Copies of this chain bind each other. A is one copy, B any other.
Amino acid sequence: MIMTLLQKMGYGGCWRVLVLGVVLWWSVIISSAGSVGSHSLGSRTRHFKFQVEYMYWSPDCVDGLVIGINGRFPGPTIRVRAGDTVSVEVTNKLDTEGVVIHWHGIRQLGTPWADGTASISQCAINPGESFVYRFNADKAGTYMYHGHYGMQRSGGLYGSLIVETEEEEEEEEEKEPFHYDGEFNLLLSDWWHQTPHEQQVGLSSNPFRWVGEPQALLINGRGQYNCSLAAKFSNSSAAQCKFTGREQCAPYILRVLPNKTYRLRVSSVTALASLNLAIGGHKMTVVEADGNYVQPFTTDDMDIYSGESYSVLFTTDQDPSTNYWVSIGVRGRLPKTPPALTILHYATTSISNLPPLPPPVPPLWNNHTHSKLFSNKVQALAGSPSPPATSHRRILLLNTQNYINGYIRWALNNVSLLLPETPYLGSIRYRLTKAFEKRAPPENFPSEYDITMPAKNQNSSYGNGVYTLRSNSTVDVILQNANALAANTSELHPWHLHGHYFWVLGYGEGKFREEDEKGFNLKNPPLKNTVVVFPYGWTALRFVADNPGVWAFHCHIEPHLHMGMGVVFAEGVRRLGKIPKQGLGCGLTGKMLMDNDNNRD
């Protein structure tokens, strides 16, 4: 698709585009992921090799360490077709740290050991060692991959995973329910100058040290800390950026032809920031969310929370003699980070012509009404599968901020998740009863809890028990937001479920009431894997526990997860046959397997 368009644009084999008078490489160089395809009729296995290592890099024009893959940051984009088996051999080239990679949005049907969550689906890969993630990319869509151990995602361990629709014989027929002439992929993240270790230790310290707002927002790993691309419109003193185009922090330019329709894939792996994206002068039509088609709707700007992905279409129907800003700003927190900017560049004009109009201004950070309107517009494409009409079980999860022995933590129903050293998948499969608490965490919270005020008793406790879900049962989860420790404070939390899609049945204000269930959208609720819970509100979701494994469900804000904001679901684990041993070599599963070795002593 990209190649086709590039050819149309007259680039042929030379994938370069002039930026601010100089040369920039398109970042969609698929071959860099090191894929070797073994193609066969129908489906095929695509092989990739990832070497994960720290490197000096300059994501926001400030030199520092990032966790890169194959010498690149962000990691290479994986692009496969629906139905392909993806095999990624990840080799840990970090010096002393373990590593895992989570394939965010991939359900891992039948391969729960390949979910890439440390302490849950596998032991971290030791330095110098490799682990092969092998899974089916069963569903076309826009996904990402990222670290899921400690706060390595904050350190830059992420990339895009794009699953295209199945190949249709020789035809070039579109299998998507929409048409487009070309596409771009934007992977959004936020960036700190503090290392992930400094951040993580600060969050675990007493006195608490919050990570603060990010120093920069990055588009495809590129942002600007010391300068602004749109300095002349800024009322700060930021200098105008000067790029030759070869800088690691030079912007990723969207070069377009007039009167074409483009698909913009957008995904967010931010550690903290909720974002809003707008293209100056251009409307967008949302067509995909989290790998599922949605009923198209048009918008001037779109929200995207950490862990979400969208596809939007836009048509280059504006004055082709100027360029336009693409602006991505912070939502939900008082923004101290300038918007990420890049340029929608009409090939009919020079890239050196900076857009004449100022960048789009994001909605006011605390205009939650605007965000709710957007979220509520996201509905399943007509004809999408409907949710079961009723559920077998409802779990209410009260989101609170608490103290434990003076440490600040997040908790669900007053339990703050502290992951065990033995991954659950192995310890549950092999009935290692000492690996974690046997008692399941609570399904509910006291009915008199006042979500509008700081808790009367702000103390919580650590826990690592799991919610065991009956196989193929339908589960409702109500995420209930509440006041945090400080008065008049309630935060946004984007919750992400591993191993499944869920239907978003609705968002509500205040405390969830029994009668709110009557308002659930059972007609066209969107299928997603990540959903926001708004301040002082609730979000209801439904899913079918049809994928044997152990699955994290957590706030996708990296510091919040580190501070305990997650729960663990286990389903049908005893039905699993053999679990590959290569992910079991730590903790009690490692001990069990080694103790059974009777050939040596």
* A502 CB, min distance to chain B CBs, angstroms: 29
* A31 CB, min distance to chain B CBs, angstroms: 23
Residue A344 lies at the interface, judged by CB distance under 8 Å to chain B: no
Q: In whole angstroms, what is the CA distance A430 to B126 when docked?
A: 20
Contact A55 B98, beta carbon cutoff 8 Å: no
Interface members, chain A 83-98 (any B CB < 8 Å): 95-98
Q: In whole angstroms, what is the CA distance A547 to B205 when docked?
A: 43
A586 is contacted by which of B126, B201, B430 (Cβ under 8 Å)? B126
Chain B residues with CB under 8 A of A198: 64-65, 195
Given contacts A197-B54, A600-B593, contact A123 B126 (CB under 8 A): yes
Q: In whole angstroms, what is the CA distance A271 to B148 when docked?
A: 32
Contact A585 B584, beta carbon cutoff 8 Å: no
Q: In whole angstroms, what is the CA distance A151 to B127 when docked?
A: 14
Residue A129 lies at the interface, judged by CB distance under 8 Å to chain B: yes
What range describes how many residues of A lie at the interface? 35 or more
Interface members, chain A 411-466 (any B CB < 8 Å): 420-421, 430
Chain B residues with CB under 8 A of A98: 96-98, 126-127
1/0 per residue A200-226: CB within 8 Å of B?
Answer: 111001000100000000000000000
* A340 CB, min distance to chain B CBs, angstroms: 25
Which residue of the partner chain B has the closest CB to A422? Answer: B128
A593 is contacted by which of B64, B127, B593 (Cβ under 8 Å)? B593
* A267 CB, min distance to chain B CBs, angstroms: 24
Chain B residues with CB under 8 A of A599: 596
Chain B residues with CB under 8 A of A195: 195, 197-198
Contact B97 A586, beta carbon cutoff 8 Å: no
* A590 CB, min distance to chain B CBs, angstroms: 5
Chain B residues with CB under 8 A of A97: 96-98
Interface members, chain A 80-118 (any B CB < 8 Å): 95-99
* A88 CB, min distance to chain B CBs, angstroms: 19
Closest 6 CB pairs of A and B: A128-B421, A96-B150, A596-B597, A95-B150, A593-B594, A54-B201
List 23 contacting pairs A-B, 8 Å CB cutoff, sorted by A. A54-B200, A56-B201, A64-B198, A65-B201, A95-B151, A96-B149, A96-B150, A98-B126, A98-B127, A123-B126, A126-B421, A128-B587, A581-B595, A584-B594, A585-B585, A585-B594, A592-B597, A592-B600, A593-B593, A593-B594, A596-B598, A596-B599, A597-B597
